[in-house]
Chain A
Amino acid sequence: MSQGAAIDHAPPARLGRRLSAMLWRRPRWAAAALLVPPMGWFVLIYLAALVTLFVAAFWQVDDFTGEIIHRWTLRNFETLATSPTYRTIALRTVGIAAAVTVTDIVLAFPCAYFMARIAGPKLRATLFTLMLLPIWLSYIARVYAWRLILAHDGVLNWALGEVGLPPANIGYTNIAMWLVFSYIWLPFMITPIYAAIERVPGSLFEASADLGARGLRTFTKVTLPLVVPGIIAGSIFTFSLTLGDYITPVLIGGTGSSFIGNVVYANVGIANDIPFAAAFATIPAVVMLIYLSIARRLGAFEML
């Protein structure tokens, strides 16, 4: 009895030790205990949501009351396939996402190269801060700022007038959207390209120079091939972020500026036609799936 009392002094420690001993003896249980919370999260929040989305795409909505009817139909996909409106919107979304990605690659490469290869540590830190500073501001605030810049009586037209040029009047157009998207997602392109360039050993450039290659040759034969995975990694950000956006088209776009996201938003938040929204939402999901599988082939995932 006295022995038992002595041990009873620290029951939590005993329980803990027992548990750890048991898990040590059965490593599978330990693995299961570690995996259950993240797997549960993954299944419930992520996969269940995705499956719901795909299942809902085959339902339809009562015309008048707006209630969802749980009856299988291909009507939503039929509408999508046959209507030129939705085809135009899908193509516009993908087209602008691609244009933004290309623009950002062109703009980001020199910046990243300068920061990684030419700038000293102090200048590099300053440039990094400057590049990342806008991200600290709310996305909405930056988009609204562009609205004021591009408005008819805005900063851009005023500046053009001051130097004697005709007004640009690009407010509320697809050009304005392209500009704003390119600005907003630029840091997401610079960072991975910078990381890729920094990883290239300096000795490779020296070797290239020793073998008689000039600047352009070194760039096309050494730098670019080694940096491509970084570019692809950055393009995943710029492409997918533009593809999924629906705020900038509302605030910056004009007529004929709807994105897939806007149609989805209008059908969920406004029309309450969730099945149709789900059907349309499968398009960017499929586009991204194809894009990611190509990116994976090109080795971009090692740069993330």
Chain B
Amino acid sequence: MNKRLGYWMSTAVAAAATTVALVALPAMAAPAKANYPAKIGPGEGQLNIVAWEGYAQDAWVKPFEQQTGCQVHRKYAGSSDEMVALMRQGGGSEYDLVSASGDASLRLIYGGDVQPVNMKLIPAWQDFLPQLKSPPNNTIKGVHYGVSYEWGPNVLLYNTDKVKPKPTSWAAIYSDQYKGQVTVPDNPIQIADAALYLKAHKPELGIKDPYELTQKQLAAAVQLLQAQRPLIKKYWAQASDEIGLFKNGDAVIGAAWPYQTNTLAKDGVPVADVIPSEGATGWSDTWMLSAKAKHPNCAYQWMKYVSTPKVQAQQAIYFGETPANKNACSAMNKIEPGACHKYHLDAPASYFDQIHFWQTPRIECSNGKRNCTSYRDWQRAWQRVKG
């Protein structure tokens, strides 16, 4: 009997190996070809989106569903890496749209996961800030792989009762003044924040762009982050994690999005945020259409809808960020007087330029040399930091 069982087992293993060999066909990656629709057809009734927490609130999703009949199914992602992974799930046809930040958009384009978007179908695009009409994070050789959405800086969030005086430098999260009460995102792109700090405080390293680091510069950033580790209470994975940490008194200072500040302030937690003197990293998001979207008409409807001044204003005020559509100013002021100025939509171009927007680190530096570190180097380095 045992002998026969052994026979069965070896047959099984052989069958399994054959299955694997058949499945494992080589795959090549390249940007997806344009397949522009001439006009937006009737909606498919469904729309599956991957979004940042706070990017698909009922306040603007419900009216969209009523207008178009497209039921919106939301999946929130905590990091750019997660967004990229979700867009590749199930062969890439599971989700139609993603609100990708600059550190994910190029990966999605070169991975062939997203397709070019016909800007003629997005009339509000004409009113976008000039820097966001064809930004390098979503437009390659004049081909638009998505519609710019909103942007803003990563801020230093602090508890106003516990942190005095008001911090003015990122040094507050690198020195042991608030040991054990600091929280920063659990995200490899956090290395850029360390690089930005080093750029100001250790000019001898010669860091020019926090997303273009040589091995030596990356090592310095990792060293800074490893020294920071004993000060950290927890690396937060989701915005709600950080909100919980501040609410329960586990953290009093940390790197955050303005969304956390707004949510905590609404719940009566004494918090404020600041852009420290070193400047800040930030995000510039793009709605991108999956190369294998099952509901392209609903997706186009959505991109058209969220580019309009009203939705851009609602989104900006809810999350605490700045719209791409410059006509959103009056709509913002209507929701909250002075909001247009508060969220910098009327700010001069110099404000936009001081934010170091998230990018995907690549081996190829912008000067053409191939001695920069890739995103995978950053991921491995981040695992070394976390331990």
- Give residues in A with beta carbon < 8 Å to B: 35, 39, 42-44, 47-48, 50-52, 55, 61-70, 79, 83, 85-86, 88-89, 147-148, 151-154, 169, 171-172, 250, 254-256, 258, 263, 266, 268-273
Contact = CB atoms under 8 A, between A and B. Distances in A.
Contact of A269 (B13, B26, B82): B82
Contacts of A62: 29
A271 B13 CA distance: 30
B107 to A, nearest CB: 6
Given A51-B16, A85-B387, A258-B386, A273 B376 contact: yes
A42 B13 CA distance: 10
Interface in B21-58: 23-29
Interface of B: 8, 12-13, 15-17, 19-20, 23-29, 79, 81-82, 84-85, 88, 107, 110-112, 180, 229-230, 232-235, 237, 244, 248-250, 360, 362-363, 374-376, 379-380, 383-384, 386-387
A63 B363 contact: yes
B12 A42 contact: yes
Given A44-B19, A254-B233, A258-B383, A269 B85 contact: yes
A152 B180 CA distance: 11
A64 B362 contact: yes
Contacts of A151: 244, 248-250
B18 to A, nearest CB: 9
15 contacts: A44-B16, A51-B19, A52-B23, A63-B375, A64-B360, A85-B383, A85-B384, A86-B383, A148-B248, A152-B248, A152-B249, A153-B248, A254-B234, A256-B386, A273-B376
A67 B363 CA distance: 16
B16 A263 contact: no
A153 to B, nearest CB: 4
A67 B232 contact: no
Nearest to A31: B4
Contacts of B229: 255-256
Given A63-B376, A258-B386, A270 B20 contact: no
A159 to B, nearest CB: 15
Given A51-B17, A64-B362, A88-B387, A271 B376 contact: yes
A296 to B, nearest CB: 16
A67 B25 CA distance: 12
Nearest to A42: B12
A43 B12 CA distance: 6
Nearest to A148: B248
A66 B111 contact: yes
Given A52-B20, A255-B234, A64 B375 contact: yes
B249 A67 contact: no
Contacts of B232: 254-255
Given A44-B19, A51-B20, A85-B384, A172 B233 contact: yes
A47 B28 CA distance: 28
B27 A68 contact: yes
Contact of B374 (A52, A64, A152, A250): A64
